Chain A
Amino acid sequence: MTPIAARFASCCAGARAHGDDAAPLPRQMQILRPVTSMQQISPPGLAEARRAYAALTWRRICVLAGLAALLLTSFLIDLSLGPAHLSFSVMIHTMLSGNDGSPASIVMWNLRLPFAVMAILTGVALGLAGAEMQTVLDNPLASPFTLGLSAASAFGASLAIVLGWHFPVSFFGPYSGNEWIVAVNAFVFAIGAALLLDLVARWRGAATGTVVLFGIALVFTFQALVALLQFVATEDALQELVFWTMGSVTRASWPKVAVLATACAVILPWSLRSAWALTALRMGEDRAASLGVDVPRIRLASLLRVSILAALAVAFSGTIAFVGLVAPHIARRLLGEDHRVFLPGSALTGGLIMSAASIAAKNLVTGAVLPVGIVTALVGIPFFLIIVLRQSRLP
């Protein structure tokens, strides 16, 4: 049947649906091509396809810009709220004039700015890490938390907190204080867990499913080990450990912010260079391989990036469960699977969730800053449900 005939058929079907029996459809035509809603859409012409694709691209740029604007707004709100009541003009003034030693600028430069920036960077790192993990492991449940990176680093941290056992950090010079000892321990264990995942992924013939199962085994192993350490810990150490595992940006300092910012600034462009290959990977591993994508190499490089980002984020901010898992899902809903926009989108979404959570953490309970790890899920879940349950066909 020609397209014209198909359109004729669909017109007839429409007319008949309105009770007009004067033009019955030829019987043979019905049998050949049952008219369904699908075929009522006439094929797009070239110009229409171009317009539609241009519109899609434009929409994606707008969504990215919108996310960035929301992130900036959330960042400013985060800065303006806190126990010390600073007016907006004082806030802007102290930010522009630098840390001049006045009480306002000390609050701003030593507390609010590093905390707010750390919240965003942690979210960006976890969002990007989760997005890449879900793509290369082809599993919607993959995230730094669900595959054991967070549990491993919690174990590393608890070794330092409970047993005082740590890696030699004296070569970090000025950064060898107690907080850095815990962070370095957490980082080393997270990287170790990621390397184990790499190893399993590289295993000859190991499917992505195997990697995910192995990651889940890591979660339970390290959780059991942490529980063991909690059992033998002194009361003080236990309290410190519990606080650490809840995840908080209040341990942030400018050197830590600098380390995480550098990591994000290096790794995001590196990820974007593989965007094509990662998009192709979403179409199926064999399909991607047949398109000339070196799948094992892409997966390995990606897991390396994920481990650096996740390990740093967890080392500085503790276990934050929700962001790495959910930010990619939200970004995918909003932006689709083209990794050129999906990866930055997931990073921005992660940053936005963390920044909003940081605001909530400071203001839910007056006079106390809650650990942000507790509120990320509470803040993020409504957001997540709205987007995922809407099941809309986003154009």
Chain B
Amino acid sequence: MSLERGQRDDAMALRAGPLTGRRGRRIVLDRVEPGPLASGTITALLGANGSGKSTLLRALAGLFPVDGPVWLGPHDLAAMRAPERARYCAYMPQTLPPPIHMQAIETVMVSMRAGGGSGGARFGGDEAIGTALGVLERLGIADLALRFLDELSGGQRQLVGLAQALARSPALLLLDEPLSALDLRHQFEVMAFLRRETETRGMVTVLVLHDLGMALRRADSAVMLHDGRMIGSGPVGDVVTPAVLAAAFGVKARVERSPEGDPMVLVDGVTGS
């Protein structure tokens, strides 16, 4: 994926780090510095289980305390209190929205309203309903709008969770494994959707992904983490390479092209055994 595609505006780029975070005595993020991430681009956070991907995402969202600066364009996110920060960034945790007895559209409106940022729209007013329904429509789940979360499947709730994050029109969108509960078709559709939204709204989108092929095809840049340290960063094609994959996952892998020219990762074995 070339870096030339999409609209970008470096005035609203995300500049973070070096970030260092501890959990107890253990250092879980060690001087991680994801390079300036331009708006209108998607960045994939990659790495093995426990490598610090989710922690880095939570740190960017302000939910995990770290030492180090986080700037979004001219805005110093690290210095902001939670309600102010929530105006700029939206975060979707890895856990699915719980199956509570609330309509999907209602939860989207709550996420627009809670924490103060409703943009002046009255809760349950025509404007708020219109915005919420619009997001659900763009995600292709308008038919779920009036259904209750406790009667939806895990994947459907994950889509509603994504709508909750997007309805806030964030400048920085942080998604922790947004595809984990989705079937193949929805994985494909959601990534295409994120691509469009990121470009048209000029967002900085950062997501944790396990599907390296998806990252190669749909992300602009990537950050590879290993044991809380950054071992690769830059255009996704430069990060997902046999050498980096060996260091990050301990696998012998190669990047091949499908007959259609799409990159894909093939794993041939594990290293060091």
Binding site for B on A (CB under 8 A): 32, 38-39, 41-44, 46, 49-50, 52-53, 56-57, 276-277, 279-280, 282-284, 286-294, 332-333, 336-338, 393-394
Q: Chain B residues near A287 (CB, 8 Å)? A: 91-93, 97, 111, 161, 164
Please judge, given known A-B contacts A43-B143, A44-B146, A277-B115, whether A282 and B102 are in contact too, CB under 8 Å.
yes
Q: Chain A residues near B50 (CB, 8 Å)? A: none
Q: Do A43 and B86 touch (CB < 8 A)?
A: no
Interface of B is mostly: helix
Cβ of A131 to closest chain B Cβ, rounded Å: 13
Q: A294-B82, A336-B103 are in contact. List 19 more A-B contacts (CB 8 A).
A: A43-B137, A49-B133, A50-B129, A56-B106, A277-B115, A280-B115, A282-B100, A283-B98, A283-B100, A284-B97, A284-B98, A286-B58, A289-B63, A290-B61, A290-B86, A332-B101, A337-B102, A393-B148, A394-B101
Q: Do A293 and B129 touch (CB < 8 A)?
A: no
Q: Do B63 and A286 touch (CB < 8 A)?
A: yes
Complex alpha-carbon distance, A44 and B146, angstroms: 8
Instruction: Give which listed residue, A44, A49, A283, A338, contacts B111 with CB less than 8 A.
Output: A283
Complex alpha-carbon distance, A1 and B91, angstroms: 30
Complex alpha-carbon distance, A56 and B124, angstroms: 10
Instruction: Give which listed residue, B82, B89, B93, B126, contacts A293 with CB less than 8 A.
Output: B82
Complex alpha-carbon distance, A42 and B144, angstroms: 9
Complex alpha-carbon distance, A53 and B100, angstroms: 17
Interface of A is mostly: helix
Instruction: Give which listed residue, B83, B129, B185, contacts A49 with CB less than 8 A.
Output: B129
Q: Do B111 and A52 touch (CB < 8 A)?
A: no
Could you write out 30 A-B pairs with CB less than 8 Å apart?
A44-B146, A46-B129, A49-B105, A49-B129, A50-B129, A52-B146, A57-B124, A276-B114, A276-B115, A280-B114, A282-B100, A283-B98, A283-B107, A283-B164, A284-B98, A286-B91, A286-B95, A287-B91, A287-B97, A288-B114, A290-B91, A290-B92, A292-B83, A292-B114, A292-B117, A294-B83, A333-B101, A337-B100, A337-B101, A338-B106
Q: Do A46 and B133 touch (CB < 8 A)?
A: yes
Cβ of B105 to closest chain A Cβ, rounded Å: 6
Q: Do B129 and A286 touch (CB < 8 A)?
A: no
Q: Which of B63, B90, B133 has the most CB of A within 10 A?
A: B133
Q: Chain A residues near B110 (CB, 8 Å)? A: 276, 279-280, 283, 338
